[in-house]
Structure 1
Amino acid sequence: MNLRALTVGLLVGGIALAGGGPAGAAPAEDEAAVSLIVGLRADADVVGPLERRVDVVASEPMVGAVTVDVPADQVAEAAEVLRADPAVAYVERDQVARIAAVSPDDPAFRHQWGIRKTRVDTAWATTRGSAATIVAVVDTGVTVLPDLAGRVLPGRDFVNNDSNAADDQGHGTMTAGVIAARGDNRTGIAGICWTCRILPVKVLGAKGSGSYSDIAQGVRWSADQGADIINLSLGGASDSRLLRDAVAYATGKGALVIAAAGNNGKSAPHYPAAIPAVLAVGASTSTDSRYSWSNYGRSWVDIAAPGCNPAQGRNGVVGNFCGTSSATPFVAGVAALLAATTPTPAAAVIRTALTTSAHGIAGTWIPASSGRVDAAAALASLPVTDDSVPPVTSFRTPGGNALVRGTVTVAARATDDIGIAKVQLLADGVVVGTDRVAPYSFSWKTSGRGKAVTLGLRTYDRGGNIAAATRRVTVDNWGPSVRMTGGPAGGSRHVRKTKYVTATASDTNGVSRVELLVDGKVTQRYAGSSHKFAVQTWKHGAVLTVRVRAYDKAGNVRYAPARKWYR
């Protein structure tokens, strides 16, 4: 058993060190050891002295820390010994992580089985794309729906030879939606690359057909416009030197060309998918078998993807979009997620990552070395450049020495020349949150009154380097004391004219204001801890309810008992 094997995802924090038992007791054969992370203030041997008090099962150095495995019944003593060592900055349990899958609120998302099957929802915990990534949809054009608003670039129509790349058939719009419909916006579906931009290139007419010559022009034009990915949910039975030259031109420009294998249910090559430089996509079912209508052939089909996906038509209505025409933009969307990482991988690297990380599936219809696309595995398989430069990290909010209460939003800055892997938030050394996608933000639930807490950021770059930042805040979840003096007592009758009451408040961290309420409405405020309020009784009804309240500087509120007066 590898005691340090962690599943990528949201870290679970706040598990207290517990246990106990005689030092030196040998662990039972069926008793699992516990891994402790020991943060170091300086390079020092903390394991040697520890071994004189407890049984150290294993240890492993890290950057600025060391992991130490000890028997479960010796954890408490080990922690005590380590914390007494001046070289130790902190001691915490190594935690187990779980997969962090993102569930957007788009109405049709529950029908998008392909997202979960291919672990796109897990990949979203790392990236949801980038506006710098351009995906060309070489198709029937694209209608700009709300799910694509602001991210459709000026296109080109090679059918009518103009700049109006609007969709008059619907196929291209559905294709673009599978790739890039905005997720988590309570609209339509969740595309795969939420922030990437779509370049619409119309090469097919209203009947869904077009010439090889227009397609070739569209591929070349897409490459000239800087497309990172070129999606071709189209094809024909004949090979073409014109198409091969267009694909060669686009790949030479750095684009990854992805094309549909076709829907004839045959093994005969389909073009341009069967051109070796093109990534050919077949269609797989929810059980990872081949749809009967999907073309196949391990000599020319490179990868499989879900072949039926919800998509919006030109009128915005969601319907089931099936075919290798649907599987292809699914792969293009995943490719766009990979293209959005830093440093930007080359098209050949993206292609290799997609195919070598694919989930193996039964049958001989695609190469045994490939399979069905797996977005999370593809992201994880991207090579990381040798990186010895640590990231830079700091707090945005809250401010230093801030008074905080309730659930606090903690915002962080994190930058790196290669890319950020994750940012962790710690409260007094315990991990309380992890974020993997910028902007980095955490919801921290505070507790206690008048308690000083050291917040920490622990930022990891993709090369494994770590940077840290700390900030001291005071947690105050307890309201000020407040009382009302002067004026008639509660239950007084025949109250006339102007009466005066004084609100007096106090709080360890200071009082920001006191307020007078009459019949539940604030009638006067004072910025301070004590004030004499005038109650003009004739301006109110026959019965008055008078009360004062105070706010401390953390925002907590407390009321003094109400008084009821009768005029």
Structure 2
Amino acid sequence: MRVLLGLLLAGGAVLPAVPAQAAIEPVAHTDAVRPDDPGYARQWGITRTHVNDAWSTVRGSSGVTIAIVDTGVNRLPDLAPRMLTGHDFVNDDDDPADDNGHGTMAAGVAAATGNNKTGVAGVCWSCKILPVKVLNAKGDGGYDTIAEGIRYAADQGAAIISLSLGGSEKSQILSDAVSYADQKGSLVVAAAGNAGSPLPHYPAAIPSVLSVGGVDQQDHRYSWSNYGSWVNVTAPGCNLAQRRDGVTDEYCGTSSATPFVAGVAGLLASTDPAPTAAQIRVALTGGRLDALRSLAALPYAGDKTKPVLAFGATPAQARGVVTVTAAAADQHGVSRVELYAGGKLIGTDVSAPYTFRWQSAPRNGVVPLDLRAYDRAGNLTQTRRYVRADNLAPAVKLAKAATSVTVRATDASGIARLELVVNGKVTSRYSGSVRKFSVPARAKNVQVRAYDKAGNVRVAGVRR
């Protein structure tokens, strides 16, 4: 039986119907990551789904394989280093090159290398890619071939099997292949289809498959995306990806949303402890895709990976009340961050951005500031920074003469400036610690102000 798969490209143009028979490496970064790939600025889906925040702690793992069961995948520089050999079920050989372009773009959305100044940033940077060609140059394939591809991917140990294809009719051969993949521990992710219809689309509508619909930047369903209770999750339906010739283009449709979800599934599969396919499916199911929410939804019992933690904006010198910020991230979520000054707890914050207000007075001298971050499993990370507290005004000595005054100021933090104030008005300023100021002979009220580099001020009156 033949069924149709619609493929959308930039601008929403629909290509001719494509026949198909439907029978972590942990990293030590704490801020949202902004890779240097040329196309990243236009990849709105990454930030909208908080994938860039998830990258702070997990970007995939070489032990996790995502199978792209499609038209094949070309060995572009953004993909080749992590591509496995794969198989071509159309021509029955081990060269699953892409003669259509659909599969290469799907692979790029899921797992193009990020932060390499090339193309775009895929979702799962370190995941292996298994190319499985089941559709020919026209996008034509049969349920039996697709089923073979699913079984092959499962046998190769693929944690995630991404299917940007499907049709409107049920198929026992597809259901059996999906069941086989389930038993092997693979999560099958499939496109909901582009007919704008509530009618089930297969294999997406097979109960154990994670079915994916497409939404726009405002989380509104694209008019072309199928919908209904059988759709498990929605994801960005238009994403940048490299075509099979390496040119970057917009790639739209549930065919694009599906590998995006597959990439996030790869991130989840890369966490510690390794979740099952069923646990990943539950973590991803429901509403619009959110990578951080999905990570937090995974079971964390047995998690031994510590949070990553760093000081944010913290002054080198402290005077009075100062603000201290921290950046913290963890694969399963940070439960709290604490700030200590000189061993004393200053405050606790349970949500980002982690911000503390520390009253440094009356301290003077070097003070150790300690941050402690705890994840949901109780793993602890600590980091220390030394800050010089200066809450003491400068010392000032005056040498007076008939029409002048010489000021000498000293301070542990250094002198920022000296000012001469005559009758309530600043008449002279000097950047330094020693200065001879001229004083008007008939001035009634004369003062000298000395400011240190921490902002403390000493006011000394000049008696005439």
User: For residues 182 and 386 of structure 1, do their structure 2 counterparts lie closer, same or farther at Cα, with a shift above 3 Å needed?
Assistant: closer
**1:102 aligns to 2:33 (yes or no):** yes
The answer to whether residue 81 in structure 2 is matched with residue 165 in structure 1 is no
The amino acid that maps onto 2:377 is: G
Indicate yes or no: 2:55 matched with 1:124: yes
Change (3 A) 1:156 1:259: same
For 1:234 and 1:276, the matched residues in 2 are separated by 16
- Match of 1:168, SS state, is coil
**SS at the partner of 1:234?**
coil
| Deviation for aligned residue 1:124 | 1.1
Residue 282 (structure 2) aligns with: 352
The corresponding residue for 1:382 is 298
* Residues 373-414 of structure 1: per-residue CA shift (max 9 Å, x gap): 011111112121167x79699xxxxxxxxxxxxxxxxxxxxx
Q: Which amino acid aligns with 1:302?
A: N
The 1:221–1:425 alpha-carbon spacing in structure 2 relative to 1, beyond 3 Å, is farther
In the alignment, structure 1 residue 371 sits paired with structure 2 residue 287: yes
Check 1:466–1:321 CA distance in 2 against 1; reply closer, same or farther (3 A cut).
same
Q: Report the counterpart of residue 193 of structure 2 in structure 1.
A: 262
2:263 to 311, 324, 333: 333
Of 359, 378, 383, 1:464 maps to 378
The 8 Å contact of residues 343 and 419 in structure 1, kept in 2 or not, is answered as no
2:149 is equivalent to residue 218 of structure 1: yes
Query: Does 2:272 correspond to 1:342?
Result: yes
Q: Which runs of 4+ in 1 moved over 4 A?
A: 389-393, 418-431, 451-462, 467-472
Q: TM-score, normalised by structure 1?
A: 0.52
Q: Residue 464 of structure 1 aligns to which amino acid in structure 2? A: G
Amino acid at match of 1:227: A
Closer/same/farther in 2, CA of residues 420 and 353 from structure 1, 3 Å limit: closer
What is the letter of the counterpart of residue 292 of structure 2?
Answer: A
1:249 to partner: Cα distance? 0.3
Counterpart in the other structure of 1:515: none
* Alignment deviations for residues 159-212 of structure 1 (CA, whole Å, 9 cap, x no partner): 011111111111110000000111111111111111111000000000012111
Deviating more after overlay: 117-126 vs 457-466: 457-466
1:180 paired residue number? 111
Amino acid at match of 1:385: A
1:308 aligns with 2:238: yes
Contact kept? 1:267, 1:295, Cα under 8 Å: yes
Change (3 A) 1:279 1:467: closer
Q: CA, structure 1 residues 425+195, in 2 after alignment: closer, same or farther (shift >3 Å)? A: farther
- Structure 2 CA distance for aligned equivalents of residues 424 and 174 of structure 1: 44
Unaligned residue ranges in structure 2 (runs of 5+): 1-29, 309-329, 347-364, 387-464
* CA shift for structure 1 position 147: 1.1
Aligned counterpart, 1:146: 77
Distance 1:309 1:390 in 2: 32
d(CA) in 2 for partners of 1:326 and 1:128? 20
RMSD after superposition: 3.4
Question: For 1:167 and 1:160, how far apart are their aligned partners in 2?
Answer: 12
Residue deviations 1:445-498, cap 9 Å, x none?
xxxxxx9997978574551133668899xxxxxxxxxxxxxxxxxxxxxxxxxx
Code of the residue aligned with 2:116 in structure 1: it is N
Deviation at 1:149, TM superposition (A): 2.8
Identity %: 59
1:319 aligns with 2:246: no
Once the two structures are TM-superposed, the CA of residue 287 in structure 1 deviates from its matched residue by 1.3
Counterpart amino acid of residue 465 in structure 1? N
* Aligned partners of 2:82 and 2:128 also within 8 Å: yes
Q: Distance in 2 between matches of 1:144 and 1:425?
A: 48
Question: Secondary structure of 2:132's match?
Answer: strand
Residue matched to 2:322: none
**Correspondence 1:289 to 2:220:** yes
Question: Alignment partner of 1:258: what SS?
Answer: strand
| 1:126 CA drift (Å) | 2.0
TM-score normalized by structure 2?
0.63
User: How far apart, CA to CA, are the structure 2 residues paired with 1:419 and 1:294?
Assistant: 31
Task: Report the Cα offset of residue 419 of structure 1.
Answer: 8.6
* Alignment partner of 1:134 out of 47, 62, 65: 65
Provide the secondary structure at the position in 2 that maps to 1:246: helix
Q: Which structure would you say has the larger RCO, counting Cα contacts within 8 Å and 6 or more residues apart?
A: 2
The answer (yes or no) to whether the contact 1:420–1:460 under 8 Å persists in 2 is: no
Are residues 420 and 372 of structure 1, via their aligned partners in 2, closer, same or farther at CA, if it must alter by over 3 Å? closer
Native 8 Å contact 1:390 1:467 kept in 2: no
- Deviation string 1:118-152 (CA, Å, 9 cap, x unpaired) is 11111111211111110000001111111113100
